[in-house]
Amino acid sequence: MSRKTIAIAGYHGLLGVDTLAAFVSAQFGNYYDSVRVLTRDPMNVLYLLVDYNDPESLDSALEGVDVLVNLIGFCPHTWDVLAYAAARARVRLYIPSEYDLDHSRYTPEPELSAKEAHAQRARSWGLKTVQLFCGILMEPAMTNHTHFGIMLSSRRIEAVMPQCGGRTDPKISFTSTKDVGMAIASISRHEPRQLADRIVISGDACTLRELAETWGAITRHSVQLAVRPLETYDAGGDIAKQRRLAAGKGYLDLARQHAGWVNNGEWKWTRISQYLAGDLA
């Protein structure tokens, strides 16, 4: 198998450092000939200066690229400019900016709808486009990410859970940014035509009750679990509440869809308890 050339856009975002590290890691570095980072600000790095308003700038940066990884935050217009340039450059594989909930299971909120629409446009331009869904990013979620009611520093978690019919507490999938980066590098080594259009991973999963118990055991302080009944919970148009409702319905548990082939023992998935004990305690 020939070694591939990779381009990464959005390096300065949440996933950039971990994704670049994965591409040059001992596990995956031998699969790639070179890695290019597209940046508006080349200071302190030997990366390629690009102007997203200048098609020739992008054409030059993407010439000879096999795989384009888009890590740019929410900016649909820039995504489209980038993907259209990739189509012109005949990039063989495009991984768009997803790394979130699987919106085939969860009624899309506006941001997720925009991501899905972008992926479909990229495919219409002839790009082999593979969306990667990972559930909830572990690191930001565990540091007072009120979208999910997780407020560990305040020793409080708010959870929407079923109260009727003997249903068990729903689990939520969490994946660390390091593992997302490794998964991107792992997926990129494969022949594009062999890849599904949608790939789901789940680094670890737990209920919010289990999360409260784990954090309490680590810190030796009790954690308040405030339960809101699923049956009467009204999310309205509030995105944070909609995500809590989706969690309560079990839509954020991706463990059963987890693509085990992504990691054939090349690395160990970060466990929630491991992250809590090592980074937050």
Domain residue limits, the chain: 4-133+176-201, 137-173+205-257+267-280
Kindly give the parts of the chain with pLDDT less than 70. 1, 40-47, 107-108, 144-145, 165-166, 279-281
Q: What share of the chain is helix, strand, coil (3-state, %, to 5)?
A: 40, 20, 40
Phi, psi for residue 29 in degrees, rounded to 5: -60, -30
Size of the chain, expressed as the number of residues it contains: 281
User: What is the CATH number that goes with domain 4-133+176-201?
Assistant: 3.40.50.720
Q: What is the pLDDT of residue 209?
A: 94
Q: What is the pLDDT of residue 145?
A: 67
If DSSP codes are grouped into helix, strand and coil, which group holds residue 33? strand
Q: What is the pLDDT of residue 45?
A: 38
Q: Which residue carries 């009790």 as its tokens? A: 222
Which strand (E) or helix (H) includes residue 76? helix 76-88
Q: What is the pLDDT of residue 44?
A: 41
The answer to whether 226 and 159 are in contact (CB under 8 A) is yes
Q: What is the pTM of this model?
A: 0.92
Phi, psi for residue 197 in degrees, rounded to 5: -70, -25
CA angle 18, 255, 264 (to 5 degrees): 55
Fold match between domain 4-133+176-201 and domain 137-173+205-257+267-280:
no
> What architecture is domain 137-173+205-257+267-280?
Alpha-Beta Complex (3.90)
Q: What is the pLDDT of residue 281?
A: 53
Rounded to whole angstroms, how far apart are CA atoms 275 and 160?
24
Phi-psi region of 247 (alpha: psi -120 to 50; beta: other; left: phi over 0): alpha
